[in-house]
Amino acid sequence: MASTADTAPSPSAQTVASGLAWLESEIHHAAHLLPAQGPITAFVHHNTLHAFEEYPFDEAVVRGGAEFDCHPYLPEEDYREALAKGRIFQEDIEAALREDLGDRADEWLGFLGTRYDLRLAMLAHPLRTGPTAELRWVVAETDALRSYREEVAVSVRNRVVHRTRHWVMRDLRNDD
């Protein structure tokens, strides 16, 4: 008895040629979507910003975001979450901030501390804003001016109290 493979009709030369033409067209189309590297033997990341390589990195990212209608960077809250999870290290933030501020890092900004201290605090803690009416309500209806939020470290609380006392005492002495 003959098997079905033996009795199945063989494809015509025209059908094979048509299938090969279709396959060749699909491969040609896919080639436009892939990087120009050779066969992949290890993971290779394709740089989606290669069209912007003549620009400095930050500018390329912003231009790419505009071109592809996307956000060039994560929201700040995502970076804070990565810091809390240990994916970003505090030492790296401090080093990058010192490099960015350069000689101005240790400039004093009145009672706020140094430029470095202020920027570091602003990176770690978002600045909450709101309309005047909302802020008045928060002050009137909560203990916002009398207590710290839970996430404020004891060391930060103590430092703020110490510096505030110093500031108040300095002003009291100068009024005499």
pLDDT digits (tens, 9 = 90+) for 19-73: 889 999 988 877 766 666 666 666 666 677 788 889 999 999 999 899 888 999 9
pLDDT on residue 101: 97
Specify the number of domains making up the chain: 3
Domain co-membership, 151 together with 139? yes
Q: Is residue 171 part of a domain?
A: yes
**Domain encompassing residue 55:** 50-87
User: How far is residue 48 from each of residues 39, 44, 89, 132, 176, measured CA to CA in Å?
Assistant: 19, 12, 27, 44, 66
Q: Is residue 68 part of a domain?
A: yes
- Is the model's pLDDT at 89 over the cut of 70? yes
Domain co-membership, 136 together with 176? yes
| DSSP 8-state code for residue 150 | T
> 83 with 57: CB under 8 angstroms?
no
- Is the model's pLDDT at 17 over the cut of 70? yes
Q: Which of 172, 175, 171, 149 is nearest to 160 (CA)?
A: 149
Q: Is residue 7 part of a domain?
A: no
Domain co-membership, 162 together with 142? yes
> 56 with 64: CB under 8 angstroms?
no
Domain co-membership, 72 together with 97? no
Domain co-membership, 173 together with 142? yes
Domain co-membership, 136 together with 172? yes
Domain co-membership, 96 together with 120? yes
Measured CA to CA, the distance from residue 114 to residue 110 in angstroms comes to 8
**Is residue 149 very low, low, confident or very high in pLDDT (cuts 50, 70, 90)?**
confident
Q: Is residue 156 part of a domain?
A: yes
Q: Is residue 16 part of a domain?
A: no
Which pLDDT tens digit goes with each residue over 94-130? 999 999 999 999 999 988 899 999 999 988 888 888 8
Domain co-membership, 140 together with 176? yes
**Is residue 133 very low, low, confident or very high in pLDDT (cuts 50, 70, 90)?**
very high
Q: Is residue 12 part of a domain?
A: no
